Amino acid sequence: MIWAIILKELREHGKWFVLGAFAAMLYLYTDVMTGHSDMAKVILHISIVTGIVLGLLQTLPEKYLGLFPFLRHRPMTLTSIFMAKVVAALILFSIVVVVPCFIAIMLVDDLTKMLIHYTSAQIVTNMLFGVVVYFLTMTFVLREARFYGSRVVGILFAVVCYYIAYEATTKEHFLFFMTCVGCTVVMAGWGTFTDQRSRIVTKASIGITLLVSYITVTLFVVINLEAMAKQFSVKDDKNDSSIYYRVTSQGPISIERNKTWVYKDANNHILSDKQVESIFEEELLGMYLRQKPTGNTNYLRKKYYTRLTSHFYYSKLQKRILAYKDDGRYEGSIGIDGFYQEQTDNLHQEEYFDNENLNEKLLIRSQRELHLFDTNNKKIELFFSCHEDIRKFDVVASDKNIPMEIVVLTEKHLYILDPSGKAISQIQHLPLKQYDKIRILITNQKQYIFRYIKTDSEKDRVIEYARTGKITKEYTVTKNPEYVEDYDWRMYFLKSSLLSNFACKYFLPHLSLPNYKASLLWLVMIPCLLCLVIARIYAVSIYETTCWMIVCCVAGIPGLLTFVSMCHFVVVRCHFCNAKYNLQNKCCQKCSAKPLTPAKDGTEIFA
């Protein structure tokens, strides 16, 4: 009889869900063709819609036609009906969601010649959330127990669980989410389709068995998550590998995806892990191309204060500026034939800057000069020149306190220019050849803080300059200081005890505000979950269950405060001088610098 009901469900709804699979594939394809593909979000939309439609189609018609009492006259219990419908629903759900997703991962990437960004953890989580929506829809339609509040509470519980899973990326949080999904499924099915004449022990044993088996499967999935991701997203054929190109300030690098990621420079030399990390740390904004860039192109850093949406590169071979969209599609080119031919060979980098009084123009750096290129009139004029090689330049965004300025870094000087190209002041700093890296910060007090970094040294040298070029402070700091921007909310725990280790690993893995909120929700939802399970076993009314929830939450507050007090907080330190912050005065005790945020307290250039 169970197989008869499964075949009946597949016969009635199979053709419609096959059409739904084609619609899902079309949705995935159009999302990829827009150039801003977010497969995890698309899978979430498809899973939710499929779960709602499945729950309604399997319950509403038979409930209004009175088929459930008819089936109960047969030698069949409601538990068997429930299991048959769930098996059929999982098959239909796989047809609409799972199969199109795997086809998109394996085929759409090659058909559209674009790079799709996704992670297997997000996709699996969103699929399982659709299963939770399916169970909740069935519960909402067919709830016959006295605990009517479980409809709303179950839906809210599933939403909270999904919020936690959406904010978290670690395996521990994913495991916790899967446990919450299993508990929600058990609560949704408990007392709805099970035989009302069965005993409490039978219901409890069925629920515990389902929960234990669900956690076992979840553990298996989490442990093999990396292998699953490689199996479905990377091709095994050595002769057929996907190659992408990324344009950086050091020239184009190729990325080969064949079982492992291989990075190569323009000369086809394999880059080490440290070289790759330094490149991607330097380029905060990048994009991937399917075709190798023409000539010797260099990366254009698009700042947050520009209003343009394209990426621009300079091609020495074509003597033109090439424009690409965010998705890597070629948009067009701008000729610069009027530019001096001897200067084009030394052209390294381009960068936009805009101002309310100026049109959007392209600032081009040669070896010792800056040229201003008007994209509308296609005219080039000299903007700034000096007697040293220009290493880098940056544009400081204007706000109420800091006017717009162009900062030019050479081997021995730092020039501050106004929007017209006139040098306002210059600062003579230490020779850059002696150091591996330099970081420069501009504060609202017109102070320029230079941090000179050597990789083989334990400490960095910091010198503060006034706008006139005079040295105001000079000191040394240790490597990698802890810097907290939102110090009122973020928590840093010392790993000094077993309890603190547990907190660092499971409660605050990323030490950020969303996970901090999620951890508090976790602590609050555990007693609520226990109350719901107890209420479902003993069929307690909604009022008694609410009272027990309040009591458990209030009783858990002292334990939460004790847990927080036992953990030690790491002192917040300055971003540059590494001294302790005075949280009352909200400033550094040594250099009196405040916690720095862009466009408020300071701006770090060349970041």
Is 398 among the domain residues? no
Q: Which residues contact 280 (CB under 8 A, 6 or more apart)?
A: 286
Q: At what angle do helices 2-33 and 39-65 cross, to 10 degrees?
A: 150
For residue 473, pLDDT beyond 50: yes
- Give the integer Cα–Cα distance in Å for 149 and 387: 77
Confidence grade of residue 150 (pLDDT, cut at 50, 70, 90): very low
243 found inside a domain: no
pLDDT recorded at residue 242: 55
At 440, the amino acid letter reads I
**What's the predicted TM-score (pTM) here?**
0.35
CA atoms of 311 and 351, how far apart (whole Å): 10
pLDDT score of 283:
39
338 pLDDT band, cuts 50/70/90, is very low
pLDDT (0 to 100) of residue 303: 31
Residue 21 has pLDDT above 80, yes or no: yes
DSSP code per residue over 388-401: S-EEEEEEEPP-SS
Confirm whether 48 is domain-assigned. yes
- Residue 242 covered by a domain: no
Domain holding 213, by residue range, is 2-233
Q: How many CB atoms lie within 10 A of CB 253?
A: 20
| pLDDT of 99 | 85
In three-state secondary structure terms, 297 is: coil
Instruction: Report the alpha-carbon distance of residue 146 to residue 150 in Å, rounded.
Output: 9
The domain boundary residue, chosen from 182, 215, 233: 233
- Express each pLDDT in 42-52 by its tens digit: 888 888 888 88
Whose structure tokens read 């960095």?
A: 460
**14 occurs within a structural domain:** yes
Q: CB–CB of 425/469 below 8 Å? A: yes
Read off the pLDDT of residues 422-456 as tens digits, 9 standing for 90 and up: 888 888 888 888 887 777 777 656 778 888 888 77
pLDDT at 61: 74
**DSSP states of 445-470 as a string?**
TS-EEEEEE-TT-SEEEEEEE-TTS-
Decide which of 214, 233, 252 is a domain's last residue: 233
Q: pLDDT tens digits, residue range 358-373?
A: 345 667 766 777 777 6
Is the residue at 583 inside a domain? Answer: no
Structure tokens at 301: 């850093």
Whether residue 458 is contained in a domain is answered as: no
Asked if 573 and 581 count as a contact pair (C-beta separation under 8 A), the reply is: yes
For 550-580, how does the pLDDT look when each residue is reduced to its tens digit (9 = 90+)? 555 554 444 444 344 333 333 445 554 555 5
Under DSSP, is residue 154 helix (H, G, I), strand (E, B) or coil? helix
Query: How far apart are alpha carbons 499 and 190 in whole angstroms?
Result: 36
Domain count, the chain: 2
The pLDDT assigned to 147 comes to 41
Does 303 fall in a domain? no
Length of the chain: 607
Q: Domain boundary at 186, 208, 233, which?
A: 233
More confident residue, 117 or 333: 333
* pLDDT over 50 (residue 386): yes
